[in-house]
Amino acid sequence: MKVIVEIEGRNAIPVRAIPFLTNWATMSPGVVADALAGATHHFRGLASFRIEGSGQKKISTTWWENFPCRQLKALSDEIRAKETTHETGYQEWRSRSIPILPAGVFVWQDEYETCHNYFHGPDGTSYLIEGNWLPENEQLTRVALDFDPFIPQSHIQRRVMEGFHQPDAKTSPAFESLTELIEQYATGKFEAMPAHLRERVVQAFFPMPHWDQL
């Protein structure tokens, strides 16, 4: 599943896609949130953005610190308090943590790759198994970024790409997410739909015949 989106001619990565770039080997949602809150020195300076109107607006590090970071820590506490085994708790946390990262928020691909390579690249200082040594090729294979990761579950695909318009709207996860958003308006007038949804419908369906007749 291709997770790179193009925004005004520049490649971007949805923040919800970041854990999948290395199959959760390096960046869990908690690590992503900490990085964008400026809490990890190797990702310090990496900025996140959301689309607003015709441009992008930077999201502050304090927002990440006070909302996703705290929500993810609360989720961890909740699951640990009731888990029967570590593995069942981990699987629950993995399924529930992705939606805490905000939909429609992204980082620039080139900036993310720079930070990633600084820490995980050939000259980086990180090791996947702390205190143990891995052959160089094995280490680099495990941390290599894959921008077309295997995500077999369709509901996770939709969740990852939520908030992003894709070129092939009729088959993309973003299109499927849009149909869910507009379902409640299916029997009403197009004008009754909120403006931001009307704009997404026009982008997704125009120039299909009867695009404004839901």
Per-domain residue ranges of the chain: 5-151, 165-214
| Residue of 86 and 168 predicted with greater confidence | 86
Match 């125009």 to its residue by tokens: 206
**Range of lowest pLDDT (13-17, 46-50, 135-139, 152-156):** 135-139
How far apart are the C-alpha atoms of 131 and 28, rounded to whole Å? Answer: 20
pLDDT digits (tens, 9 = 90+) for 107-128: 999 999 999 988 877 665 555 5
Given a cut of 70, whether residue 15 has pLDDT beyond it is yes
CB 15 within 8 A of CB 3: no
Q: Pairing between strand 10-14 and 105-108?
A: antiparallel
Residue 196: pLDDT band with limits 50, 70, 90: low
Q: Compute how many other C-beta atoms are within 10 angstroms of the C-beta atom of residue 81.
A: 8
Match 């015949």 to its residue by tokens: 209
pLDDT digits (tens, 9 = 90+) for 125-138: 555 544 456 666 76
Quick check: pTM over 0.75? no
How far apart are the C-alpha atoms of 69 and 77, rounded to whole Å? Answer: 13
**What pLDDT, on the 0 to 100 scale, is given for residue 48?**
98
Q: How far is CA 188 from CA 53, 157, 173, 185, 193, in A?
A: 26, 29, 24, 5, 8
How far apart are the C-alpha atoms of 90 and 93, rounded to whole Å? Answer: 5
**What pLDDT, on the 0 to 100 scale, is given for residue 202?**
60
Nearest to 126 by CA among 21, 20, 29, 27: 27
- Greatest CA span in the chain, whole angstroms? 63
- Torsion of the alpha carbons at 48, 21, 103 and 7, rounded to the nearest 10: 60
